């Protein structure tokens, strides 16, 4: 009798924004759930990419034994602190060694983000894959899933056999991405192949507002990827538009294709896609964004409600702290906002003030700008505490499926036409469910703020009278030249005026 296939699985996931100077601590990861061994599978084995992979391999006709490694997940925030990164590596190493001691492994699967950084380690994903390769040796297949905002690095490619990225932005395909990774593994194991990868790095970064793969400029490129992945020799085809707010050397768009062999025809397909990407760079960066005053003016002019303002600069989905006050200050300055304005702020000190005051009590405090005071200032808020709650819900849709969201204690405060949901911790700024979890109904509001550049459209567009984009300062500004990059390889468009990718030797 043949023994079952043994596959070790883990998840190390965060989109890190290195312009957010607040480190992601072990407590932050614990809030989102750290788990190891069998606990990892029993508690989180049905979430996102991991869930997709697990369900797919469990449907194989082969007998499969899954071994849980570690799960470290944290909502997008600043770099992982040094000690937490050490802990992560130690636990991953120990779990992998334990799994190996129990018998030979046939593969390792990691659900990764691909734009994750720690203090002193700008390429945490590459380092994690390297660690796994070092332990399992050259012969065990290593597969990983990535966000399409991953930043592909040489280290990642040197250690992983197949990397499979989302094909959808808004990211509605997290589970499917895990399933596609499982299909690639099945092909490798069944045909006993070690695939070849073709990678083309482009010296360009773009803001996220137009990254929409359904209706935005890159949509045809993603349809082409899907076609390529239908070819029997292709294990994975990806286009990584990268997350531009991680100041890491190899930041830039990538086209990545993994197949049974790197044939000239596939190389040509990659080159064609890369050329199309390069030609899109200006289009991808040209989108109307309005200053805080102008965006609120425009919202007030629009017939119908709600008008949803996507605040990309303070997008909690992009690792900004969600504490910026530019739009809130505008709301408070207006004499009237028909149907009211609704926003949220990550501000644990203000939550504490509200909890101390109690429901229906007056609230008076300076709110916001606690994490990134370099981009905005606290705003005096005088109003009433309307509700106190724990902000917990389950995220299904953009960026996650079955993902437990835990944003700590919360408070709803109101001043005239302006309602603010305060939370202790960051979380998805892209979904109306954040407000609904606090008993608020964004559909009935005049203006609603989504702290998200693009993903908010997945749910808001279905009922919004209009969606506008703001141009505020913050840790994830759409205007990339506002940031001071120190570590990215140069030249890099649009920071440098280059007309051809060949002008950037570091990409070769």
The site for Zn ion (CB under 5 A) is made up of 147, 149
> Distance between CA atoms of 180 and 184, rounded to whole angstroms?
6
Q: Which is nearer to Zn ion, 147 or 347 (CB)?
A: 147
Residue carrying structure tokens 């606290």: 378
| Cβ 347 to Zn ion shortest distance, Å | 25
* Residues 88 and 72 sit within 8 Å (Cβ to Cβ): yes
User: How many CB atoms are located within 10 Å of the residue 349 CB?
Assistant: 13
**C-alpha dihedral (167, 172, 173, 174), degrees to nearest 10:** 120
Helix (H) or strand (E) holding 33: none
Q: How far is the CB of 75 from Zn ion (least distance, A)?
A: 13
For Zn ion, the closer of residues 177 and 324 by Cβ is: 177
Pairing outcome for strands 400-415 and 254-259: unpaired
Shortest distance (Å) from residue 397 CB to Zn ion: 13
Residue nearest Zn ion by beta-carbon distance: 149
Please list, residue by residue across 182-204, b when 16 or more beta carbons sit within 10 angstroms of its beta carbon and e when fewer do.
bbbbbbbbeeebebebbbbbbbb
- The Cα 355–Cα 110 span in angstroms is 40
Give the DSSP H/E element, type plus range, for residue 338.
Answer: none
Rounded to a whole number of angstroms, the minimum distance from the CB of residue 12 to Zn ion is: 16
Task: Give me the least distance between CB of 493 and Zn ion, in Å please.
Answer: 20
Pick 51 or 306: Cβ nearer Zn ion: 51
Which of 72/240 has CB closer to Zn ion?
Answer: 240
Instruction: Mark residue 220 as left, alpha or beta (left: phi above 0; alpha: psi -120 to 50; beta: remaining).
Output: alpha
Residue 214 or residue 463: which is nearer to Zn ion going by CB?
Answer: 214
- CB 474: neighbour CB atoms within 10 A? 30
- SS3 at position 23: coil
Find tokens 């100077």 and name the residue.
21
211 versus 425: smaller Cβ distance to Zn ion: 211
Question: Which residues, at least 6 apart from 264, have a Cβ–Cβ distance to it below 8 Å?
Answer: none
108 or 405: CB nearest Zn ion = 405
| Residue (175 or 418) nearer to Zn ion, CB | 175
Q: What tokens does 12 get?
A: 């190390």
- At its nearest, how many Å lie between Zn ion and the CB of residue 240? 10
Shortest gap between Cβ of 148 and Zn ion (angstroms)?
A: 6
Look at the block and give the residue holding tokens 């045809």.
220
| Half-sphere exposure in the Cβ direction for 185 (13 Å, CA) | 33
Closest to Zn ion by CB, 84 vs 213, is: 213
For residue 319, the minimal CB distance to Zn ion (Å) is: 11
Instruction: Tell me the C-alpha distance between 292 and 336, whole Å.
Output: 16
Least separation in angstroms between CB 429 and Zn ion: 13
Beta pairing partners, 338:
none
Q: How far apart are CA 352 and CA 474, in angstroms?
A: 24
145 token code pair: 């899933």
Nearer to Zn ion, 147 or 173 (CB): 147
Chain centroid to CA 504: 27
Taking the complex as a whole, how short is the minimal distance between the CB of residue 115 and Zn ion, in angstroms?
A: 8
CB of 317 to Zn ion, least distance (A): 8
Q: Which is nearer to Zn ion, 306 or 427 (CB)?
A: 427
| Residue number with CB closer to Zn ion (147 or 311) | 147
By CB neighbour count within 10 A (0-12 exposed, 13-18 middle, 19+ buried), where does 143 fall? buried
CA distance 394 to 248: 32
The tally of CA atoms less than 13 A away on the side-chain side of residue 308 is 28
**Hey, which residues does 61 pair with through a beta bridge?**
none
CA gap 321, 473 in Å, rounded: 12
Q: Are 453 and 474 in contact (CB under 8 A)?
A: no
Closest distance to Zn ion from the beta carbon of 186 (Å): 26
When the beta carbons of 133 and 149 are compared against Zn ion, the nearer one is 149
Q: Cβ of residue 399: shortest distance to Zn ion, in angstroms?
A: 7
């Amino acid at each position: 009798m043949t023994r079952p296939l043994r596959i070790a699985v883990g998840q190390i996931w965060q989109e890190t924004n290195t312009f957010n100077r607040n480190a992601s601590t072990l407590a932050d990861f614990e809030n989102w759930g750290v788990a190891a061994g069998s606990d990892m599978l029993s508690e989180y084995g049905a979430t996102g990419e991991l869930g997709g992979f697990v369900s797919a391999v469990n449907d194989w006709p082969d007998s499969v034994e899954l071994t849980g490694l570690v799960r470290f997940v944290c909502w997008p925030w600043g770099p992982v602190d040094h000690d937490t990164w050490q802990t992560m590596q130690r636990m991953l190493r120990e779990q992998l060694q334990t799994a190996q001691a129990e018998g030979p492994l046939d593969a390792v699967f990691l659900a990764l983000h691909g734009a994750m950084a720690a203090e002193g380690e700008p390429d945490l994903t590459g380092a994690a894959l390297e660690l796994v390769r070092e332990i399992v040796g050259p012969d065990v297949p290593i597969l990983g899933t990535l966000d399409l905002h991953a930043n592909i690095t040489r280290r990642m490619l040197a250690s992983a056999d197949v990397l499979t990225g989302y094909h959808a932005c808004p990211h509605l395909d997290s589970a499917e991405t895990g399933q596609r990774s499982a299909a690639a593994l099945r092909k490798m194991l069944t045909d006993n192949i070690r695939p070849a990868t073709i990678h083309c790095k482009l010296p360009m970064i773009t803001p996220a507002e137009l990254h929409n793969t359904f209706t935005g400029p890159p949509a045809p490129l993603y349809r082409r990827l899907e076609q390529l992945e239908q070819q029997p020799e292709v294990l994975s085809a990806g286009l990584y538009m990268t997350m531009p707010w991680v100041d890491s050397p190899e930041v830039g768009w990538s086209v990545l294709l993994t197949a049974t062999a790197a044939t000239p025809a596939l190389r040509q397909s990659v080159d064609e896609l890369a050329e199309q990407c390069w030609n899109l760079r200006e289009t991808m960066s040209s989108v109307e964004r309005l200053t805080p005053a102008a965006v609120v003016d425009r919202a007030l002019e629009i017939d119908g409600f709600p008008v949803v303002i996507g605040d990309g600069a303070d997008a909690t989905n992009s690792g900004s702290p969600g504490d910026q006050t530019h739009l809130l200050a505008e709301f408070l300055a207006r004499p009237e906002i028909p149907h009211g304005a609704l926003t949220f702020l990550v501000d644990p000190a203000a939550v504490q003030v509200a909890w101390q005051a109690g429901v229906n009590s007056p609230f008076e405090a300076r709110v916001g700008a606690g994490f990134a005071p370099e981009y905005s200032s606290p705003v005096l808020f005088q109003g009433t505490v309307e509700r106190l709650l724990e902000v917990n819900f389950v995220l299904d849709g953009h960026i996650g499926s079955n993902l437990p969201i835990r944003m700590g204690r919360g408070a709803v405060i109101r001043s005239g036409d302006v309602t603010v949901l305060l939370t202790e911790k960051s979380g998805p700024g892209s979904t109306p469910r954040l407000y609904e979890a606090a008993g608020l109904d964004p559909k009935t509001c005049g203006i609603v703020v989504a702290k998200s550049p693009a993903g908010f459209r997945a749910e808001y567009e279905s009922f919004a009278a209009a969606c506008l984009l703001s141009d505020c300062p913050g840790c994830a500004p759409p205007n990339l030249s506002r940031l001071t990059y120190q570590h990215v390889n140069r030249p890099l468009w649009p920071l440098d005026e280059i007309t051809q990718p060949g002008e950037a030797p570091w990409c070769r």
